[in-house]
Structure 1
Amino acid sequence: MTLLTGLTGERKLAGLTVLSGWLPLRHDFKSMISQHAKSLPIFWGHGSADPLVRHELAVKSVDFLRESIGINTSPAAEQLVGLSFTSYAGVQHSVNDRELSDLKTWLKKVLPSVD
């Protein structure tokens, strides 16, 4: 739902976080994409042992976004444009400390600081 809402909505969000997810409605997605979709930072974490949302489905979704929609891979952690996909070995349909730490680091970069 994060991808569908964030990449097709009229409002540009600060970024999208996908944990153990996939892209629904892939066949209709191209016609629904918003003009700002390619400029959003996306953090996507997925466990390699997820029995509910198979890792392969996540990888296919990421490949679709990159190849068919043109969303770039985030070139470096400090640059907040594009898709950052990380697999977490042995993690099922949950998160581990490393994934939460990676997400925390990403959120600190994406969200504006409140002083």
Structure 2
Amino acid sequence: MPAKNTNTLSAIEIAPESVAKRSIIWLHGLGADGTDFVPIVSELHLPAAMGVRFIFPHAPIMPITVNNGYEMRAWYDIASLTIDGMIDKTGILRSIHQLEMLIEKEEARGMATRDIMLAGFSQGAAIALATGVRYTKPLGGIIALSGYLPLAQETFEHASKANQSIPIFLAHGMEDPIVPYALGKASYVMLKQANYPVSWHSYNMPHSVCAAEIQDLSNWLKTVWNK
């Protein structure tokens, strides 16, 4: 286990019009930052009564091996473009811990963990999935777009009973050249076989987000949160 980082990640926060009743912590993809998914707040068209507070943290800046060591915001290093390339276990575990700290920060503000969802795109989706499955208190749900479940065997070995029934929204582009569709689908199959309640969605798109996906996610959120 890597040394724990005691510094909370900086983040953009979008407060609801009404009192905050729920929180979604949303992790961006490789090379982006917290601003990347801010527009989705209005695009989801969630009812004001849901009182959702969105938190968009900025990943640390680090050198990325596959990009010749160029420094960018990332949740973990990528050493190879192949699926079986070296996994940055240390970086993944560090980011899981940092996301756990953000959950704890929300809880300290009075938010019940059951009212906190984890979301992410690409690398961010991977960290959201791994954290949600492992987290020791019940969470509200996991949203993973164009991602996969990293360190799958280890993650299931450390899976928490508190989140065995956590609702999960998985979505992937069938033309994704960055995170292969097969990898996303395999993660869905593994989670389903482990009896997690997963809602799987695929779209004719590359490594991106589309309008139909946002609409499906909006409907899912309203169903899960019964609003």
2 CA distance for matches of 1:110 and 1:64? 22
Q: Aligned residue for 1:3? A: 129
Would the aligned equivalents of 2:133 and 2:160 in 1 still touch at CA under 8 Å?
yes
Partner of 2:220: 106
The correspondence for 1:83, drawn from 195, 198, 202, is: 198
Residues in 1 aligned to 2:132 and 2:156: alpha-carbon distance in whole angstroms: 14
1:25-77 superposed Cα distances (whole Å, 9 cap, x missing partner): 0121221101033311111111101111100001111111122x232xxxxxx
The runs of 5 or more residues in structure 2 that have no matched partner are 1-126
Which protein is bigger by CA-based radius of gyration? Answer: 2
Runs of 4+ in structure 1 deviating by more than 6 angstroms, as ranges, are none
Query: Which residue in the other structure is 1:64 paired with?
Result: 190
Q: Relative contact order: is structure 1 or structure 2 higher (C-alpha 8 Å, sep ≥ 6)?
A: 1
**Conserved? CA contact 2:140–2:167, under 8 Å:** yes
Match of 1:42 in 2: 168
Q: Which structure has the highest strand share of the two?
A: 2
Match of 1:76 in 2: none
Query: Which AA in structure 1 matches 2:180?
Result: R
May I ask how many residue pairs the two structures share in their alignment?
A: 101
AA of the residue aligned to 2:212 = R
- Aligned-partner residue type, residue 52 of structure 1: I
Q: CA RMSD in A?
A: 1.4
Give the residue type in structure 1 aligned to 2:218: K
Alpha-carbon distance in 1 for matches of 2:217, 2:175: 19
Residue of structure 2 equivalent to 1:18: 144
Q: Is the 8 A contact 2:137 2:163 kept in 1?
A: no
AA partner of residue 84 (structure 1) = S
| Aligned position for 2:52 | none
Q: What's the TM-score once normalised by structure 1's chain length?
A: 0.81
Q: Which runs of 5+ in 1 are unaligned?
A: 72-81
**In structure 2, how many angstroms separate the alpha carbons of the residues matched to 1:21 and 1:42?**
13
